[in-house]
Amino acid sequence: MSTRHILLGLLASGPSHGYDLKRRHDERFPQARPLAYGQVYTTLQRLVRDGLVEVDGTASDGGPERTAYRTTHDGTRELTRWAGEVAPPAPFVTNEIFAKVVVSILTGGDADTYLLAQRAAHMGRMRELTALKTAPGTDLTTVLSADYALTHLDADLRWMTTTAARLTTLTTEVRTA
């Protein structure tokens, strides 16, 4: 996920300061890794440097000084360009679970036990996400975000089932290669 474009998108509704941007990011993308404040401010500085965002003003309102930012014309154009791009499917799949299965085989470990433990962890996370999305009053952003994560976890589970069924053949191939 492109933090710079997400921040540009959050600024599209009007000027905001870093604290509000971080809070709105975490609300709008509830299943994403929360942004650190330092990442927000560093990204805002880069956006200003690149001419995509400009300072709208500073105010203290009796508290710490806060700088508000707004998108520039170039920032709006860049956001529109980015949002319209089709995200290409990843040319390479890096999967930690698969790597651990192969390493387990290479080191004489028990890949089947590992897959069972990983499956249990995935199932636990799926239960958490299902409870989150079905809780009374859950907003649609949270539901859709949880659905996305659940779909990916389900794909991992299907892969683990297929791999477990082929573990004997995989073990032979890995050990003789």
Q: How many CB atoms lie within 10 A of CB 31?
A: 16
Q: Given phi > 0 = left and psi -120 to 50 = alpha, else beta, which region is 141?
A: alpha
How long a stretch of residues is the chain? 177
> Tokens 């069924």 map to which residue?
165
Does residue 1 surpass a pLDDT of 70? no
Q: Alpha carbon of 117 to those of 29, 78, 107, 131, 150: distances in Å?
A: 28, 44, 18, 21, 18
Question: What's the confidence (pLDDT) of residue 96?
Answer: 83
Average pLDDT for residues 162-177, to the nearest whole number?
89
pLDDT digits (tens, 9 = 90+) for 83-112: 888 877 766 666 888 888 888 888 888 999
Q: Is the pTM of this model over 0.75?
A: no
What digits encode the pLDDT tens for the residues 38-87?
999 999 999 999 999 999 988 877 777 889 999 999 999 999 999 888 87
H or E element at residue 90: none
pLDDT for 8 equals: 94
Give the DSSP H or E segment for 92: none
User: Which residues in the chain belong to E strands, given as ranges?
Assistant: 16-17, 53-59, 66-71
